[in-house]
Structure 1
Amino acid sequence: MQSKFKCLVLMGLLVTFTTIAQTESGVSRPVKIASMEKEPYTGINLPDKGYVNELIRAAFAEKGYQVDIGFYPPARAKYLAEVGEVDAVAPVRFDGQDKDILSYSSPFPGAQLGFLKKKQRDIPNSFTAQDSLDDILQQLSPYIFGVVRKVAVSPEFDHSTDLKKVYVTEELRNLDLLAHGRIDIAVIDKYNAADLMVNYRPHLIGQLEFIRPPLFDLSFYLGFSNKKPDHQQLVNSFNQGLVSLINNGGLKRIMEKHGFYRHPPVNKDKQRIVIAAADINDIDLAQALSREYEKQHADIDIEWRILEENTLRKRLLSDFAISDGQFDVAMLGAYETSVWSKKHWLSPINNLPDNYDWQDVFPSVRHSLTYKGQQFALPFIAETDMTFYRKDLFKKAGIQMAARPTYQDILTYAKAIHDPANGVYGIGLRGKPGWGQNMAFVSVLVNAFGGHWFDQNWKPTLTTKAWKNALTYYVDIVKKYGPPDAADNGWQQNQSLFAQGKLGIFIDATSLAGKVFATNTAIDSEQIGYAPAPFVSASHPSHWFWTWAMAIPQSSTHQTAAKDFIAWMTSRQFVELAVAKGNDVTIPSGTRKSTYQTNTMRRLPVNDFIASAIQTLPFGNENDIADQFVAIPEFPAIGYQVGLKVQQILKGQISVEQGLMDSQNIVEHIMQEAGYYSGPSFQH
């Protein structure tokens, strides 16, 4: 991965942030930017609308500007800049063709085009540093290349008359041609290819690989409209802000937040263990205490890559999708353990230290991380779902939480305590799209209403009465009694709102209890109550169960060192060290019986309730515990796509009926592409 900045990626811009830019005359106005959408660098559904959006906003902020960013198709964005209706368009490539229309900023890290092939094809998959690009292209000249029309790759490639090229209109089409053997090599951006597979073509994950090298580093630019009289001032301001971000580490932080990392220099005296982890409540503790491990193991250097969980899941899957091999330790859950171990992507974990004490780990937790009786991950935290609520608000409304509330009870309670005029909202439920975000709750809700994702022939059932009833309930309660922007809130946002005293009811994971009952909140912890998660029918309770665990990818080159570290990080001794450090009530929970005997956990009012809830979870076959996912490789793509539709329903952009019909069609297409069936007959 070589680039001018030795970083990774970007492109585009998104979403609207209004602010004021000062011109030389002192007149204030918004700086308007027309952005094009291209995941994973920019996109409406990405955290903070993507890396490029955050970079541009931060660079202008360094010089006192803020921006108003809107999304447009490429041709429309360019036209708006050409006629002077926007100040700039992003992202653009510097090809000299539009210099009469645009003035270009300094470059910032952009796409990395490479050559993608099927693993089983007998095509050279690596070259040496001594091979020139011309030599490489000459060796690959017998093969057919797929290229997106009007995308410049390099002068050597673009102007070659010896190469056979097939031009397509979009990258997804390029992948499809490669999968069906219509082309031999797809010329495509590394992370775009990975994310397209993760989100739209999951059956291709693990089947493709990039030829190494070359990767073509394609920097990106802001193109400023020459129609604007102050365009040069804006160019200079952005460039100066970009330099500031590079010098103060801001650019590096933004890119890493979105999962784009540079490979650090190799230290021959140490093994670097690269950990991809989710930004859950307890991960900061793990990162801090890992320094104690490094002190005791002078030959180990631990690099943490902590990501928002949607981003983490994409980066882990995309690593397998293109055989990138970036990680030595992957933080994952019961779903990934079940599916990835079958794919042989994870290494089995054997010969743990005698003091690891497996019998101390709850049976449901051990069970969720095995495949064919073998352990493939070690548990860091585990959780099921529960209900938190405000006792004081219930008392004020003259109501009382049921010992085992139904969903109808919850609707009644939320209505009674909803008081937006005083900044209090009845309930917080996950609305942020993602199979581990809104769909974790929605899947459990659908199951509680008697619904399922698939029938016995793997046909999706999203247009059934159960799905409609569940979604109607969800949309009704969230839109009427949820906080503003509920459709964009995940568990972290709702946890924060509850801590600020802005939510009356909060249904989410038991692992959040430590933070919920923490003393540094706007509400007295004595006024926080708890109850089991709601149900529809007492004869059919539905729960989620999740384990955040540590696993070792088969691609890791530090297998032994990685195993030793995760055995330490998930051990009794780690919890004891956390307690000794005085970490109040946020020690990793849900995995070990002994954790609930510590003084730290005994101070938590909900201690015994959570321990009992996890210990008594029923389970049958391996990984068959909870209701929030389906253990098939295609589920992340399915959950992602349906999660977007559910968010659109919640935002009022489409009806429940339309959203479910769209979702049904999407899931059917994914399952057909994956080979579960073709037409009406089941063939998988």
Structure 2
Amino acid sequence: MNKLKTTFLGLSMCAASALTAHAQELTIAIVNNGHMINMQKVAEAYTADTGVKLNWVSLEEGVLREQVTSDTATGGGQYDIINIGMQEAPIWGAAGWIEPLEFGAEYDIDDMLPAIRNGLSHEGTLYAAPFYGESSMVMYRKDLTDAAGVSIADNDSWDNIKAAAMAIHNPDAGVYGACLRGKPGWGDNMAFITTVVNSFGGAWFDKDMRPTIDSDEWRAAINFYVDLLGNYGPPGSEGNSFNEILALYNEGKCGMWIDATIAASFLEVDGVAYAQSPNAGNPVGANWLWAWAMAVPAGSPNSDEAKKFIEWATSKDYIKAVAMHPEFGWGSVPTGTRASTYAYPEFKAAAAFAGAEMAAIESAAPEATDLKPYVGVQFAAIPEFPEVGSAVAQEMAAALSGAKSVDDALAASQAAADAIMSEAGYY
């Protein structure tokens, strides 16, 4: 037996030794991002070792959220394991929609980054295990900024970011100054837009949980966003989110991208440099905090097997399995979950972004503050937020495309959010 096969068997057995001998099936709903797609190949060894067949349902982010929310809320039982994030995990855990997770001592839960663990827990109980975690940062082509005679600094001003985008923007050569999310969705365009609003001193709600979308801070932020992306972004940006922009970047069409730190794992162009997220005077909330995590819907008949798979797929051993997989390696391991990952010299050598990613995660500020009375950076950790965020997302996409003025989009957003929050009984 070769060394690689021996390693995979050992890793699987470590976390799955209690699995029954007969084959079972698990249906897993995942977001169609790179690390999740890679997991399907790495997990072939898990099936070979345990006899557990894994049925993968890979969905675009917005579709995944809709289907998983509907199925879990109604107890539909379509999935044994679901991808959810920090917005859902504590709320769904408190509501009893998903099962608490407890793992063996070898899992070393204390190795999990505190910000990620806390964001996936409710009252100290973990309800979803992080497959990868992220903040956001600037990923820019230093060859282009150097050639244009401009620079980008950590926590730079938005004005300087705009000047840099203008300097490197060259649509005749197929290069756009700034590629930013524009596709509507509370976790799509609004993830980025909310950090811009935060950096301008805005928030989703005031201390009484009344929407503040018609504020001067929102107006300044959205006007800036529409101007920046409308003038120095690729055509059709209102249809672009993570996967679309990643493809554009790897085709050499983006000079700058401000998005999830995890994107750095999948960039294939040379000369990329990294900087902490810019702001307009308020650095708190300028970079988001998120994790795509794995949870078990309550009442699943395969919950024991599902939890064993999650324990394996989010363990230190899984990270090593990706590192040693012949198709991947240390540069492709899922990041943002465990402190130990950042201690491997092989990882640090393969991942030039590691230091910037860790700095971004550690500086993210999800706690409630005087400015915002809710937990969350690019979202609000309340049950109504997906509905509010989705409604506003459509209006922001309309403003970006030119279908509506910024003022009209903000007015419609305020009205929609107010109706949702009022009906929910907040005031």
TM-score by length of 2: 0.90
CA displacement at 1:307 relative to structure 2: 0.4
Q: 1:660 aligns with which of 410, 416, 422?
A: 410
Matches for 1:101-500 after TM superposition, within 5 Å = 270-298=23-51, 300-350=52-102, 352-500=103-251
1:470-523 residue CA offsets vs partner (Å, 9 max, x unmatched): 11000000110000111111111111111111111110111111111x3xxxx4
Comparing both structures, which one devotes a greater share of its residues to strand?
1
What SS class does the counterpart of residue 507 from structure 1 fall into?
Answer: strand
1:358-386 residue CA offsets vs partner (Å, 9 max, x unmatched): 12211111111110111111110000010
Which amino acid is 1:271 matched to? Q
In the alignment, the residues of structure 2 paired with residue 411 and residue 313 of structure 1 have an alpha-carbon distance, to the nearest angstrom, of 33
The change in CA–CA distance for 1:600 and 1:624 in structure 2 (over 3 A counts) is: farther
In the alignment, the residues of structure 1 paired with residue 288 and residue 162 of structure 2 have an alpha-carbon distance, to the nearest angstrom, of 20
What SS class does the counterpart of residue 97 from structure 2 fall into?
Answer: coil
Which amino acid is 1:505 matched to? M
What SS class does the counterpart of residue 87 from structure 2 fall into?
Answer: helix
Q: 1:546 aligns with which of 277, 280, 290?
A: 290
What SS class does the counterpart of residue 463 from structure 1 fall into?
Answer: coil
In the alignment, the residues of structure 1 paired with residue 291 and residue 399 of structure 2 have an alpha-carbon distance, to the nearest angstrom, of 29
In the alignment, the residues of structure 2 paired with residue 640 and residue 542 of structure 1 have an alpha-carbon distance, to the nearest angstrom, of 20
Kindly name which structure, 1 or 2, has the bigger radius of gyration based on alpha carbons: 1
| 2:299 counterpart residue number | 555
Answer whether contact 1:382 1:590 (CA < 8 A) is retained. yes
CA displacement at 1:588 relative to structure 2: 0.6
In the alignment, the residues of structure 1 paired with residue 110 and residue 194 of structure 2 have an alpha-carbon distance, to the nearest angstrom, of 31
What SS class does the counterpart of residue 396 from structure 1 fall into?
Answer: helix
Say if 2:393 is the partner of 1:643: yes
In the alignment, the residues of structure 2 paired with residue 624 and residue 635 of structure 1 have an alpha-carbon distance, to the nearest angstrom, of 11
Comparing both structures, which one devotes a greater share of its residues to helix?
2
1:208-266 residue CA offsets vs partner (Å, 9 max, x unmatched): xxxxxxxxxxxxxxxxxxxxxxxxxxxxxxxxxxxxxxxxxxxxxxxxxxxxxxxxxxx
Give the superposed CA RMSD: 1.8
Which amino acid is 1:564 matched to? K
Q: 1:595 aligns with which of 341, 346, 365?
A: 341
Which amino acid is 1:670 matched to? I
In the alignment, the residues of structure 2 paired with residue 342 and residue 462 of structure 1 have an alpha-carbon distance, to the nearest angstrom, of 28
CA displacement at 1:625 relative to structure 2: 6.3
In the alignment, the residues of structure 1 paired with residue 31 and residue 179 of structure 2 have an alpha-carbon distance, to the nearest angstrom, of 22
Q: Which has the higher contact order (CA 8 A, sep 6+)?
A: 2
In the alignment, the residues of structure 2 paired with residue 457 and residue 620 of structure 1 have an alpha-carbon distance, to the nearest angstrom, of 17
The change in CA–CA distance for 1:540 and 1:571 in structure 2 (over 3 A counts) is: closer
1:537-593 residue CA offsets vs partner (Å, 9 max, x unmatched): 156452200011111110311111111000000000001111111413121111112
In the alignment, the residues of structure 2 paired with residue 539 and residue 304 of structure 1 have an alpha-carbon distance, to the nearest angstrom, of 39
| 2:352 counterpart residue number | 605
What SS class does the counterpart of residue 588 from structure 1 fall into?
Answer: coil
In the alignment, the residues of structure 2 paired with residue 625 and residue 613 of structure 1 have an alpha-carbon distance, to the nearest angstrom, of 18
CA displacement at 1:607 relative to structure 2: 1.7
CA displacement at 1:271 relative to structure 2: 2.5
| 1:586 counterpart residue number | 332
In the alignment, the residues of structure 2 paired with residue 341 and residue 334 of structure 1 have an alpha-carbon distance, to the nearest angstrom, of 11
In the alignment, the residues of structure 1 paired with residue 252 and residue 297 of structure 2 have an alpha-carbon distance, to the nearest angstrom, of 42
CA displacement at 1:321 relative to structure 2: 4.2
What SS class does the counterpart of residue 178 from structure 2 fall into?
Answer: strand
Which amino acid is 2:222 matched to? L
In the alignment, the residues of structure 2 paired with residue 614 and residue 403 of structure 1 have an alpha-carbon distance, to the nearest angstrom, of 14
The change in CA–CA distance for 1:368 and 1:344 in structure 2 (over 3 A counts) is: same
Answer whether contact 1:430 1:489 (CA < 8 A) is retained. yes
In the alignment, the residues of structure 2 paired with residue 441 and residue 312 of structure 1 have an alpha-carbon distance, to the nearest angstrom, of 19
In structure 2, runs of 5+ residues without a counterpart are: 1-20
Which amino acid is 1:439 matched to? M
Which amino acid is 1:292 matched to? A
Answer whether contact 2:212 2:414 (CA < 8 A) is retained. yes
| 1:250 counterpart residue number | none
Which amino acid is 1:343 matched to? A
TM-score by length of 1: 0.57
Answer whether contact 1:363 1:615 (CA < 8 A) is retained. no
| 1:575 counterpart residue number | 319
1:388-435 residue CA offsets vs partner (Å, 9 max, x unmatched): 111111122111222431111111111111111111111000000000
In the alignment, the residues of structure 2 paired with residue 628 and residue 472 of structure 1 have an alpha-carbon distance, to the nearest angstrom, of 18
CA displacement at 1:619 relative to structure 2: 5.5
Matches for 1:38-77 after TM superposition, within 5 Å = none
In the alignment, the residues of structure 2 paired with residue 616 and residue 662 of structure 1 have an alpha-carbon distance, to the nearest angstrom, of 33
What SS class does the counterpart of residue 503 from structure 1 fall into?
Answer: coil
What SS class does the counterpart of residue 37 from structure 2 fall into?
Answer: helix
Answer whether contact 2:323 2:332 (CA < 8 A) is retained. no
In the alignment, the residues of structure 1 paired with residue 392 and residue 38 of structure 2 have an alpha-carbon distance, to the nearest angstrom, of 34
Answer whether contact 1:362 1:592 (CA < 8 A) is retained. yes
In the alignment, the residues of structure 2 paired with residue 355 and residue 628 of structure 1 have an alpha-carbon distance, to the nearest angstrom, of 33
Answer whether contact 1:334 1:369 (CA < 8 A) is retained. yes
The change in CA–CA distance for 1:439 and 1:403 in structure 2 (over 3 A counts) is: closer
In structure 1, runs of 5+ residues without a counterpart are: 1-267, 677-681
In the alignment, the residues of structure 2 paired with residue 392 and residue 319 of structure 1 have an alpha-carbon distance, to the nearest angstrom, of 47
Identity of paired residues, percent?
Answer: 36
In the alignment, the residues of structure 1 paired with residue 307 and residue 374 of structure 2 have an alpha-carbon distance, to the nearest angstrom, of 26
CA displacement at 1:674 relative to structure 2: 2.1
1:317-371 residue CA offsets vs partner (Å, 9 max, x unmatched): 1113443121111111111112111211011112x12210112211111111110
Answer whether contact 1:368 1:625 (CA < 8 A) is retained. no
In the alignment, the residues of structure 2 paired with residue 612 and residue 443 of structure 1 have an alpha-carbon distance, to the nearest angstrom, of 20
